[in-house]
Amino acid sequence: MPERSNAKTKNRPDASRQRVSIVVLLLVLWMIAIGVRLVHLQVGQHEQLSDRARRQQQQSAKSNALRGLILDRNGHELARSLDVDSFVAEPTDEKFDARETAKKFAAVLGLDESPLRARLEEARKSKRKFVWLARQVDAEQARRIHELKLAGVRAVKEPKRYYPNGALAAHVLGYVGTDDEGLAGIELYQNASLGGEAGKTVFDKDARHKAFNSFEVEAQPGQSIVLTIDQNIQYQAERAVAEAMEQTRAKSATALVLEPRTGEILALVNAPTFDPNGARKISEELRKNQALQNIYEPGSTFKIVAYSAAIEEKLARPTDMIDCQMGSINLLGRTIRDTHAYGTLTVTEALAKSSNVAAIKLGLRVGKERMYDYMRRFGFGERTGIELKGETRGIVRKPENWHPSSMGSVAIGQEVGVTPIQMAAAFATIANDGVRVAPHLVREVRDANGQAVQRTAPETHRVLSAETARTLRPMLESVTVSGTAKLAQLDGYTAAGKTGTAQKIDPATRAYSKTKYVASFAGFAPIENPAVVIIVVLDEPAGSYYGGTVAAPVFRAIAESVLPYLGVAPDTEFKTPAGGQDELALEMNATQANRDAASATAHHAQYSSQEPAAQAMLPQVVERGAGGVREVVYAAATERALLMPDVRGRSVREAARICAQLGLELEAHGDGRAIGQSPAAGARVEAGQTVSVEFGRSD
């Protein structure tokens, strides 16, 4: 029996070994779990835990990169960034006093103390480590804050955008927000290039949240943008537009100066304007860039499409005769009239006189499908691609959406919507021998070392043959010589262009307003080798609203300052009166007075020759000269009538210029030099009267 019992005992498993095995297994599993967890923490969650530790032990303040420069085409600074002090509070600092900090800060910066104190006290309760007190403080205020030596308050260097020329080219440059992010203009469009890479300052904290060490990750400065804008041309254009705004009391105004062969914009002006240094005070209305966002019916400036298409398609020639039907045409029961009744004119004369009937007839010859094609070729209905946000396409309907009588509107610039920059690009196409170059503002992008890393290569395509473009240029010159834009004639330079006077839609009636107009003039100079294209658009001018009387003089003012500045040689013999600048100013004043008088007559304004003030406004013209040189001199008139000057021996351009200055309509016959005139020299004439001059060439 005992032997059997021992045998059973040997075969029974040892309980202690089982327990050991279980314990070992559990230990192994526990170690594996710990290992897996460690791997998970150290590998899988390494970044998250490291960031958490850094947040507990460190505090960082982001520092914006020094924003790149914005330069004009000649390297002049239009925008730069300056390092200024911003101030932060550290509410967890033991010595920080929210009440004292709020009181003293508010006193220096002129802030309301109560909300600042409440914000700081709330930050302390929630144990926030970082609170902005003031951003981008000016130098004097920063000095006074430093002198306070407030506990828990530190200064952080931040770049602040500065525009040294104030409002100059404001709609081109745009502005930045408090965080140095571009919010408008080139600042917004090129924000990624200008902004660079932000840096930061890191503070190590102990258990009591006191900083004991810090290090800085340097920001990488932004790239610089070189614009096509010339600050001198921009200034001259802005000055001319500001004067026009004052004289016409227009709601707004736009002007563009463009190089036709490169597409580079030398000036872009919108009025009213703003100072980007005070960006926080800028209203939405002032921020609007009218040059690329204002859609308006162009009126007669759009007639270049019908004339271009007709000449390109061999449907008309400049010397062809066209019946203007005494100023009236009927399309499917709709009657469209000219301002004046004209009979048969040459195509060139019809353009100079801005005949609606002639433009419609040419449009009918072209047909709506080809007319639409040429509109799109010129770029209407498409964005130009200029480097600014918010550009609109304009309004150009497809032919299938035209009404049966739409050609009567489209050919004369109605039922279409354009922007000033689109119209400038269209005239630049004619000035550039039929090749359209996309208008642009950015010339190149430079790195921090000043090396060009990107240059603009604008899109180009042919719209018209060179022959057609060169045919159109003298036709458009006739508009300034004997047509509706005599006030666009330049001193020493030939000029070409087209006026536009378009009625605005009345929102209340959805019909054309009888009191609100858009006056415009688009042109280029000189004729043979155009150096600049200039467009001027005035929205709702008060009083006279014709493009030839309010927009054309602005073109002249800009062109006469820009062309000599660009070194363009004069190409005409006409000279400014020898009296110099004073007499030139008197001449311009007389021109304005006569223009006002002509406008008043056209609008049936009441006028009395007995009113002394009115008499003083009207000039009298006499001829004087020595050594065979004659000049026009102005003196106060004693009655409503003017005296007809002697224009014999003058060229067509010179005679037209003199008549325009007096508000007279010139009817020129022949070419060469003036050999006869009616009325005779010294006869009394009135502003707005048509005078006839015969021209001929001596054998």
In degrees and rounded to multiples of 5, residue 575 shows phi and psi of -120, 150
Name the region of 294 (left: φ>0; alpha: ψ -120 to 50; beta: rest).
Answer: beta
Neighbouring residues of 590: CB distance < 8 A, sequence distance ≥ 6: 619, 634, 661, 662
User: What is the SS3 assignment for 90-122?
Assistant: CCCCCCCCHHHHHHHHHHHHCCCHHHHHHHHHH
Among the options 81, 252, 300, 651, which is catalytic? 300
- Closest by Cα among 285, 266, 271, 276 to 240: 271
User: Is residue 465 within 8 Å of residue 312, measured between CB atoms?
Assistant: yes
What are 673's strand-pairing partners?
Answer: 651, 696
Q: Which two tokens stand for residue 424?
A: 């400038």
Say how many Å lie between the first and final Cα of the chain, rounded.
164
- Closest by Cα among 395, 400, 391 to 415: 395
Using DSSP, state whether 299 is helix, strand or coil.
helix
Angle at 192 between CA 189 and CA 196, to 5 degrees: 140
| Dihedral angle computed from the Cα positions of residues 667, 673, 675 and 681, in that order, rounded to the nearest 10 degrees | 70
Positive or negative, the CA dihedral 504, 509, 515, 516 is: negative
300 catalytic per annotation: yes
Positive or negative, the CA dihedral 107, 111, 115, 120 is: negative
Q: Which two tokens stand for residue 683?
A: 């006869």
Neighbouring residues of 489: CB distance < 8 A, sequence distance ≥ 6: 480, 481, 495, 556, 653, 656, 657, 660
Instruction: Indicate the DSSP class of residue 547.
Output: I
Instruction: Indicate the DSSP class of residue 333.
Output: T
- Provide the CB-side half-sphere exposure for 210 (13 A, CA): 5
Q: Which two tokens stand for residue 322?
A: 């066209």
Positive or negative, the CA dihedral 616, 619, 624, 625 is: positive
Sheet of strand 511-525, all strands in order from the earlier edge strand to the far edge: 265-271, 252-258, 532-539, 511-525, 496-506
Using DSSP, state whether 322 is helix, strand or coil.
strand
- Closest by Cα among 240, 258, 168 to 557: 240
- Provide the CB-side half-sphere exposure for 203 (13 A, CA): 15
Active-site positions read 300
